[in-house]
């Protein structure tokens, strides 16, 4: 049962989703895990600031891989390294916590709550098209995330399959190739205009979803589409209708 991109008329066979911020609420999930960690260890930290600080190290750490300054390593590894940096910036240097405890905290990025519309929206789309993540997360992380959050993906191909981090072109084209689809038969859904811009440059169809609370109340996420994406919605449950499903 094919559907067509409303603005381009291209048939969409797979709808793939950015995950952190777009499908799951990383900030709330990380805050909850950090709060538990702090309580367990009897330390005082501002969990909201901790989550933002950890996330702020996300793009710079991937940039070293994108630029070629560093060989590809998985996002699990980057999350763990970035966690050590955050703790150090707060005065908790090496040795303050057992390494296994930090490994466990670093895996918090697997256990994040979905936005309320994510599971129903993706489930509806799954009836008509292939659904999956198109994320900088590695495959193991994304599979665990899906099981925890109940995300009904048809396929999970992490960044460790393409060995490329968005917005590098390979990150968008590898999943299309492995699904046997042309780039134009694949749609990326994201709450981030920059991600959509790169996806469009790679030839994918694009849909914006607004996630104003991604960074928390009073800290606006990207509220509006900055380009004429093929679709634009305020909830994933609206996307099927916009795609004419």
Note whether 12 binds a second copy by CB under 8 A.
no
Contact at 8 Å (CB) between 172 and 160?
no
Distances in whole angstroms, Cα of residue 211 to Cα of each of 10, 48, 136, 143, 152: 26, 17, 18, 23, 20
Note whether 210 binds a second copy by CB under 8 A.
no
Note whether 156 binds a second copy by CB under 8 A.
yes
Other C-beta atoms lying within 10 Å of the C-beta of residue 104? 12
Structure tokens at 11: 């048939």
122: CB partners within 8 A, 6+ apart:
17, 23, 131, 151, 152, 153, 236
By C-beta, is 176 or 191 nearer to a second copy? 176
Long-range contacts of 63-71 (CB under 8 A, 24+ apart): 65/165, 66/164, 66/165, 66/168
Number of residues binding to a second copy, judged by CB under 8 A: 22
Q: Which of 21, 29, 121, 158 binds a second copy (CB under 8 A)?
A: 158
By C-beta, is 94 or 103 nearer to a second copy? 103
167-206 footprint of a second copy as x/- string (CB under 8 A): -----------xxxx-------------------------
Residues 68-127 within binding reach of a second copy (CB under 8 A): 74, 76
Q: Which of 22, 82, 136, 138 binds a second copy (CB under 8 A)?
A: 138
Of the candidates 205, 185, 17, 7, the residue with the CA atom closest to the CA atom of residue 117:
17
Q: Which of 65, 87, 146, 209 binds a second copy (CB under 8 A)?
A: 146
Shortest gap between Cβ of 146 and a second copy (angstroms)?
7
Q: Identify the DSSP state of 20.
A: B
Binding stretches for a second copy (CB under 8 A)? 74, 76, 130, 138-141, 143, 146-147, 153-158, 160-161, 178-181
């Amino acid at each position: 049962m094919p559907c067509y991109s409303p603005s381009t008329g291209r048939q969409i066979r797979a709808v793939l989703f950015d995950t952190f911020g777009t499908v799951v609420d990383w900030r709330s999930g990380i805050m909850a895990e950090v709060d538990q960690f702090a309580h367990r260890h009897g330390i005082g930290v501002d969990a909201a600031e901790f989550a933002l600080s950890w996330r702020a190290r996300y793009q710079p750490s991937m940039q070293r891989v994108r630029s070629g300054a560093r060989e590809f390593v998985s996002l699990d590894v980057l999350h763990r390294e970035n966690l050590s940096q955050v703790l150090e910036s707060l005065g908790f240097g090496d040795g303050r916590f057992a390494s296994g405890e930090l490994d466990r905290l670093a895996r918090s990025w697997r256990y994040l709550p979905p936005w309320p519309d994510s599971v129903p929206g993706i489930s509806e789309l799954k009836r008509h098209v292939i659904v999956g993540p198109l994320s900088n997360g590695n495959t193991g992380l994304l599979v665990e995330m899906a099981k925890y959050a109940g995300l009904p993906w048809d396929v999970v191909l992490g960044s460790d399959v393409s060995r490329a981090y968005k917005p590098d072109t390979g990150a968008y084209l590898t999943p299309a190739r492995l699904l046997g689809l042309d780039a134009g038969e694949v749609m990326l859904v994201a709450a981030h205009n920059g991600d959509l811009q790169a996806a469009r440059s790679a030839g994918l169809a694009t849909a914006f979803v607004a996630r104003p609370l991604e960074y928390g109340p009073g800290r606006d996420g990207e509220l509006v589409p900055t380009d004429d994406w093929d679709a634009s919605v305020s909830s994933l449950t609206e996307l099927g209708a916009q795609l004419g499903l």
